[in-house]
Structure 1
Amino acid sequence: MTAAAASARSAAGPVYPILIAISLCHMLNDVMQSLLSALYPMLRTAFQLDYWHIGLLTLAFQGTASLLQPVIGMATDRKPMPMSLPVASLCTFVGVMGLAFAPSYAGVLIGAMAVGFGSAIFHPESSRVARLASGGRFGLAQSVFQVGGNFGQSLGPLLAAFVVLPLGRPSVAIFGGLAVISAFVLARVGQWYRGAMVARVRKATDRSLPLPRRRVVLALVILTFLVFTKNIYMASMSSYYTFYLIDTFQVSVPTAQVMLFLFLGSVAVGTVLGGAVSDRWGPMTVIWISILGVLPFTLALPHVGLVGSAVLSVLIGLILASAFSAIVVFAQELVPGRVGMVAGIFFGLSFGMGGIAAAGLGVLADHHGIRFVYLICSALPALGLLTILLPSRKEFIEGA
């Protein structure tokens, strides 16, 4: 596709083939990432791990991505790197091989860090591709991109339950083939991306802030904190929900993995719904719905039975995930022309902070029990009331 054609298609509306391709690669990327948390019960048995070891694995993955993503995002804001996308998939491939064949816990840690390194490269540039291909429908584009990742995360527990558990940890290497497929697709996406950037390279990007600098900084801090609190809860579910179900209801590991799939699948659906609502009624509407809607269900989760846990986890996933795309779009409006930096903050820094929290939750679980973790986390959404400090749409209009 020529640069002129890329520009024309983007101006006409969303470039759906590119959005679908980048979402598909996000799915493949996050399938491999989610295998790490889905492997936790097996790794715990194989290496005689405590809960804090599990938390450290989450920290190794998310911490690596956290430290690198903002740096890579700011660098690619200055100089976009289209062909870094397939390189990200190859890094993930190396990490998956480590998870499959590492003979020690230390080797698994290194594999987790390699997966995090691939994630750090992938997210800033792929988020920029989604925005370039949006045709102005930024919420839709961000949610289509993000839902691929959510769907990939939801598949991890099922693949672990029905492939990895029966065949053993080396079977994780099978999924390394997904990284190779992703690298080929991303190479083609990178070609389109390069053409789109050539078409835009001489256009001056307006980077003037829509609000006073102090107001923008405060809003970014609040948005980062909102994602951080959401990611703590997400970390409690992705890292420890299977253990909670096994310890509380004595279910089998495959059953617990299916329950985790229900939660992660609802996260994927909630992401799509949130993006659509954000484009129609604005990101602030979605953020408020997500905050006020999820709290009653998180508070109830530690006090219900197995069926109730399944129902509540689906509702929590739907509502909790709806705000993420809206938060990213809102942040991009606050700092125009810095898509990579925003992606680095919200896909990297905040997720890495969630990884640190996961390690802390593991320590709490070791000392006070896994149910105590969910009692603590159930009140986290209440911190989302800080949304009241965010600038309103009226402020944006007056600032312009």
Structure 2
Amino acid sequence: MAKSKAITLLSIGHACVDVYQGAVAALVPYFVAERSYTYAAVSGIVLAASLLSSVAQPLFGLATDRRAMPWLLPVSTLVAGSGIALSGLGGSYALTLLFMGIGGIGVAAYHPESARVARVAGGGSHTAMGWFSLGGNLGFALAPVLVAVVVGIGGLGLTPLLVLPALVGSLLTLPVLRGPERMTSAAPRTATAAAAPDDVASFVKLALAVVCRSIVFVGLSTFIAFYVRERTGGGAAAGTAALVVLYLGGAVGTVLGGALAERRDRVTVVRRSYLLTVGAVAGLVLLPGPALYVCVALTSAGLYVPFSLQVTLAQDYLPGRVGTASGITLGLTISIGGLFSPLIGRLADATSLQTALMPLIAMPALSWLLFRTLAEPAPPNAPRPVPGGGRAGRRR
């Protein structure tokens, strides 16, 4: 199968999975409206989807480092879709948490192996990985629209219809997995990986930066609809529009990140992106009126320029454990932020939503500081660059 066709199918499949991550936040206002949940209660729903995913994703990464599991792509897509599709049935909060958790496990199982397959299919190209990541961003962006059409019209009782993207995504994945034998090789490690050393210290710093980014993105995903309605005086449509802008801005940022990385090193691109994001988040929290939408778009683009670049950086820092690197990075990108979402919700219940969102301004600043200590990974058998210039020998 041609590289472009494989990446296109994987990108669409990625969209069909990540629509369920975006659907969690998109469903929150409907749980509030139909079941009168508090901010803290709906934060618990986000936490349920995030917690199991954050724990399970590195475990799936470890498993795929030992043996390639391409069959996980269609199976995990169906699991993710089934969990979210069942989340609106019944009035039990405990069952809602359970189904959200199942959806989170499906998402966790998908990402480490899909990142490996996508990088093989794209021949290691940053642009190809950017297009693959774009699919996930578009899935996020379409989630509020899908939820609004299905649940907005028929209520939470119609959530089973949300399984349709999972059915489509699982079918589209199959032609890629039947492609070249290298896609389904039982030995994910490449000769390059075997020759290059793992840089655990840099990987840990990268992971911490991803955590800070995750806190901002998941926090805004959960509460931006409520916040924009408060600040602009608009109705449900205003909140949904803000959520769509948040996700579409991410799509633009992802493609831009891949293109910039072909011209400059990834660390520099990511570092500058986080610095610009500090001002965008501050504007989002502090500025009133329609200017909010501009700040939402800039924040989203700034957070997503690093998205695919951080995945490939993680793989290059841990070339001998690509699945683990992908699982931790992709898991942290979405999942760990959900662990902080209940804290934001409780603070919002106790004070105001604006006050609760203010700490998010500091998160991209912390990511920027961490990236100031990182260097672009050196090619195999070449001296490793160090932050601030100069060269260091290969680490043993």
2:54 is aligned with 1:66: yes
Q: Aligned partners of 2:139 and 2:159: how far apart in 1?
A: 15
RMSD: 2.1
- Per the normalisation by structure 1, the TM-score is 0.90
Are positions 1:173 and 2:160 aligned together? yes
Identity %, equivalent residues: 31
Specify which of 223, 227, 230 is matched with residue 244 of structure 1. Answer: 227
Q: For the residues of structure 2 that align with 1:31 and 1:117, how far apart are their CA atoms?
A: 14
Deviating more after overlay: 29-38 vs 195-204 = 195-204
Is 1:388–2:376 an aligned residue pair?
A: no
Say whether residues 1:206 and 2:193 are aligned partners.
Answer: yes
- Give the counterpart letter for 1:95 in structure 2: G
Name the residue aligned to 1:295.
278
Are the structure 2 counterparts of residues 153 and 192 from structure 1 closer, same or farther at C-alpha, using a change threshold of 3 Å? same
Q: Which letter does structure 1 place at the counterpart of 2:349?
A: D
How many positions carry a matched residue from both structures? 383
Q: What's the offset of the Cα at 1:274?
A: 0.3
Q: Is the 8 A contact 2:245 2:293 kept in 1?
A: yes
For 1:202 and 1:304, locate their aligned partners in 2 and report how far apart those are by CA, in whole Å.
Answer: 49
Residue 55 of structure 1 is matched in structure 2 by 43
Partner of 1:18: 6
Offset, 1:388: 1.5
Residue 280 of structure 1 deviates from its aligned partner by: 2.4
Change (3 A) 1:323 1:204: closer
Q: 1:196 aligns with which of 176, 179, 183?
A: 183
> Residue 73 of structure 1 aligns to a residue in which SS?
helix
Counting only pairs closer than 5 Å after superposition, residues 138-287 of structure 1 correspond to structure 2 as: 139-192=126-179, 194-198=181-185, 204=191, 206-210=193-197, 216-287=199-270
Q: Within the alignment, does 1:132 sit opposite 2:120 as a pair?
A: yes
Matched, 1:327 2:310: yes
Displacement of 1:392: 4.5
The match for 2:70 is 82
CA distance in 1 between counterparts of 2:283 and 2:238 reads: 21
Shift of 1:350: 4.5
- 2:110 corresponds to 1:122: yes
- The Cα shift of 1:76 comes to 0.8
Question: C-alpha distance in 2, partners of 1:283/1:237?
Answer: 25
User: Per residue, is there more helix in 1 or in 2?
Assistant: 1
Deviates further, 249-258 or 18-27? 249-258
CA drift at 1:47 = 2.1
Q: Distance in 1 between matches of 2:182 and 2:364?
A: 42
Q: Which runs of 4+ in 1 moved over 6 A?
A: 199-203
The structural deviation recorded for 1:194 is 4.7
- Superposition deviation, residue 271 in structure 1: 0.7
Per-residue deviation, residues 145-193 of structure 1 (Å, max 9, x unmatched): 1111111111112223344212212332222121111121222222226
Q: Quick one: distance in 1 between partners of 2:170 and 2:333? A: 26
Normalising by structure 2, report the TM-score. 0.91
Q: CA deviation at 1:113?
A: 0.7
Match of 2:388 in 1: none
Give the distance between the partners of 2:188 and 2:245, measured in 1 at CA: 44
Match of 2:288 in 1: 305
Deviation string, structure 1 residues 354-389 (Cα, Å, up to 9, x no partner): 111112111111112101122221222211212121
In 1, distance between residues paired with 2:216 and 2:255? 20
Q: Distance in 1 between matches of 2:41 and 2:302?
A: 30
Equivalent pair of 2:65/2:323 in contact (CA under 8 Å): yes
- Alpha carbons 2:273, 2:305 under 8 Å: kept: yes
Show structure 1 runs of 5+ residues with no match. Answer: 2-8, 10-14
> Structure 2 counterpart of 1:30, which letter?
D
The residue type equivalent to 2:109 in the other structure is I
One-letter amino acid of the structure 2 residue matched with residue 53 of structure 1: A
Counterpart CA distance in 2 for 1:45 and 1:73 is: 38
Cα-to-partner distance string for 1:10-49 (whole Å, 9 max, x where unaligned): xxxxx11111111101111111331221111110122221
Contact 1:209 1:334 (8 Å CA) reproduced: no
What is the Cα deviation at residue 252 of structure 1? Answer: 0.7
Instruction: Name the structure, 1 or 2, with higher relative contact order (CA <8 Å, separation 6+).
Output: 1
Change (3 A) 1:148 1:175: same
Contact 1:47 1:105 (8 Å CA) reproduced:
no
- Secondary structure class of the residue paired with 2:319: coil
SS across alignment from 1:39: helix
User: Structure 1 residues 171, 43: CA separation in 2 closer, same or farther (over 3 Å shift)?
Assistant: same
